[in-house]
Structure 1
Amino acid sequence: MLRFMPVGDSMTIGSAGEHTWRHRLWRHLCATYDGPFTLVGPRETLYDKAADAPTSYEYAEPAFPRAHLAGWGEGWIHMAPLIADAVRESRADVLLVSLGLIDLGFYTNAEQTAKNVEEFVTRARTADPRIHMVLLPVIPNIRAQEDAEFGTEVALFNELLAKAVADLDEPRSPLLLTSVPPSYDIHHDTYDGTHPNASGEHKIAAAFADAMYQGWGLCEEYDAESA
Structure 2
Amino acid sequence: MDWIYSISQLVKSEFQKMPEDQEQIEGEALYKIVRSFFDEPLTVQKDQKTVEIQTSPILVDKLTTIQLRQCLSLVDKNLGETMTLVYGKDWKSDKVEEMRDPGLVYLLLHHDTEFVGFISIKAVEDNESHVLYIYELQIVRNYRRMGLGSKLLGILDQIVELVNSDPAYTSKFGKLEGLSLTVFSSNEGAKKLYFSKGYRIASHSPAVRYLRNRKIQPDYFILVKNKI
| TM-score, with structure 2 as normaliser | 0.36
Larger Rg: 2
| TM-score, with structure 1 as normaliser | 0.36
**Which is strand-richer, 1 or 2?**
2
